[in-house]
Structure 1
């Protein structure tokens, strides 16, 4: 078995698609705007996708809001150079919760995806 797709609930799937593709550099795997459906991939791995799912279900919205208000990342993205990504994304206007920090698990930094989520970057 392998992970094929996971989802992240967003406040606006079309805006999230723009952010994840234009700002973060993900590739579009599927875009069906009339169905509010967008799937992206960060590294081109065939069949591996991140579904930018609308938070129109009350349970999903309560979860998304609760996780955000607690300051918890909704998803962790790996990077071989968190500090380099921090510089690149900060220059692009991405709002980070602080500078990259290093701990026993590696280097991390958390940013706001502009669509209702905090995202953690992680480097081993």
Structure 2
């Protein structure tokens, strides 16, 4: 693995369906050795590790807490035209948590993968 590789792990309900979602909607490449317990996708130096309940990452914590999908931590994908990207993805059936919001740094929206994990789409206001 290269020093420039960044791994993000998401807990998911179905690793194979989740991998297909990232490939189909965001152009990720599916990595080999996918199974019902674990799959991974890559886009440039970013690898998203998709772990199901049967994976080692799905094992309960010592206090009994169960790893689960969802939450607010997210990866951010930069897009040049957020409105056009949202329109394309809505037509493809992608679910969003919100509408496009604007702030001092740009515009963003939060998409949900099939397990409810968040992917932020971000268009910079030009000061990045």
Do they superpose with TM above 0.5?
yes
Point out where structure 2 has 5 or more consecutive residues left out of the alignment.
Answer: none
CA RMSD of superposed structures (Å): 2.4
Q: How many residues align?
A: 115
Residue matched to 1:40: 41
Alignment TM-score, normalising by the size of structure 2: 0.73
Match of 1:123 in 2: 123
Return the index of the structure with the highest Cα Rg: 2
Paired position in structure 2 for 1:98: 98
1:22-72 CA deviation, whole Å, 9 max, x = no partner? Answer: 2332112x2313473322123xx2x5422112242234844635x2xxxx2
Which runs of 5 or more residues in structure 1 are unaligned?
Answer: none
Bigger share in helix: 1
8 Å contact from structure 2 (residues 79, 121) kept in 1: yes
Q: CA deviation at 1:114?
A: 1.4
